Structure 1
């Protein structure tokens, strides 16, 4: 089985320039804004996209090496790719779709047709779809089709499994069932896996590590626990559901200066005055008011960008009051529905966000 996958890729047309590795048996979640290069990265590893320069290595096997003109074809890479669209062959049954990969890889072997049918039956059983073997894709629900697509990917015995938002098009129940299934499949066999997702639940339940890609570059690489408790990028913080302000640390290291404002908090021991630092705080710690509050709190005037209903909580997302992309843009406050009703918030209006210094953690950037 695989010795892990490593990739170094530059794709100039897509402004992609990344380098990292995934250990055997490790599941890495790849997150980032739309258009950041996440899918392009997977396509380079799968062989669907040739980089302008770089290498892709699985174990000791070099799949891509632009310097040596090496580019293994897609069908011989032993890299499985599962997309949001299951892309099943519409004229084949579920069993025939799953058997297609093994038959294509070993088409010269005698008896491969029978062995491929056995593999298809095995993997359909593994993904809980044995009863769907005789159905064609048009007869399958979205969740059922994704199970068959996963069985097809696994039947090809991949050393690397790439998943590009495979749960994005499913309803809540189907996504939950697929998530449970993936948790068992990804942990077995020692294969390296990469998961592109926009869902925090996918990261928490499936991943060991998180890579944040922004503008075609790796902006952050950390454990899932670190992403949730100590993110180091604005996107990582927003994905994890916390607020982050970055800038130079003030005197004593107990503040961060951003967009002309000093954000005071409790600093960690290794924050040095003048060094790059971040201030992190939870949306639940932020108060929203019409009038500027007094007292020993961090206060910033913001515009209301959007309101989002989250059960009994209303999330207020901020934007810069003058239309610029300053430190306030993207900050979030979680307030009760009663508070929101009393404030009568409307997108575009100015309000004040405030947070006590005791609720702000200052860390090295």
Structure 2
């Protein structure tokens, strides 16, 4: 893996066809990097209503799109993928046997790559419009150690709480900040991000320490906070629109979106140390080795984003970028980037898929889903051998 920085201009970038309504530009180092580490990247853009799959296809970065209704949070565990959408959570499972069907079909063209992962829908849970933000699989402590499984937890931004899915209800709240006294859909503090440590949610970010509906907007420039979930204490104040906290390699990482930076926080002192600065609103963060994959949004000229440091630093809208940047966290150098030129202006989640080189998600092909059956071992034993895959 090369640590040389990607050229910041377009001299090392490759364009998609000009007539592509979702055109993007990428450095040649991006697909090379994915090939070297044997991975792909998932990206959600609620503004465009897409799940974007970034994957290497014969030395070219293939930006593959699937339509979803305002997708935001992503959570990956093993062969399971969960996506939080406008009013529901979709759960997809990898069904490797379907990959051969994708390779054989003209409806799934590639430049020669072979699919190695195929996510098929397995469960949908209607939450209502709770403004789902980040999600994660966490260890469920309700059963015995032999029975424990993981459960999906998500940031319920509308109700200012963390929640899980329910068999009967829209959601089950499991935690909320001390200053949020009532459970009501007012988006008081804009709870948005979560960090997992030792299998549980340990830190969360919010844009304000308020109880009034939309109260966070009043001090969005520097009212952001980081909360220790275990103690309930607010351990950092004065952040500019923080997102995507992560515990990685023994350090607490954070995106200070209003500044357009990636950095670390000392939980003991609350001091934030920027590691890298980007030409966009940083939101969406995933790690692989010494690399951080960071989502960038253009940010609109609107009441939500006006007055933040990033907008002051990049005064012209065309200076603000939307895409995925790869940075070496040890040096702060940019290694590669994929910039969306048209169609996509805002990104929410970024998730690296280690060991998954060329995935697809099938939610649009009723015929393929209809003839792809998944059975347990006991039932599969009764299926004729020629039908088993």
The question of a shared fold, defined as TM-score above 0.5 by the shorter chain, is answered with no
Task: Give the TM-score taking structure 1 as reference length.
Answer: 0.25
**Structure possessing the higher relative contact order (Cα contacts under 8 Å, 6 or more residues apart):** 2
Which structure is larger by alpha-carbon Rg, 1 or 2? Answer: 1
* Larger strand fraction of residues: 2
Task: Give the TM-score taking structure 2 as reference length.
Answer: 0.24
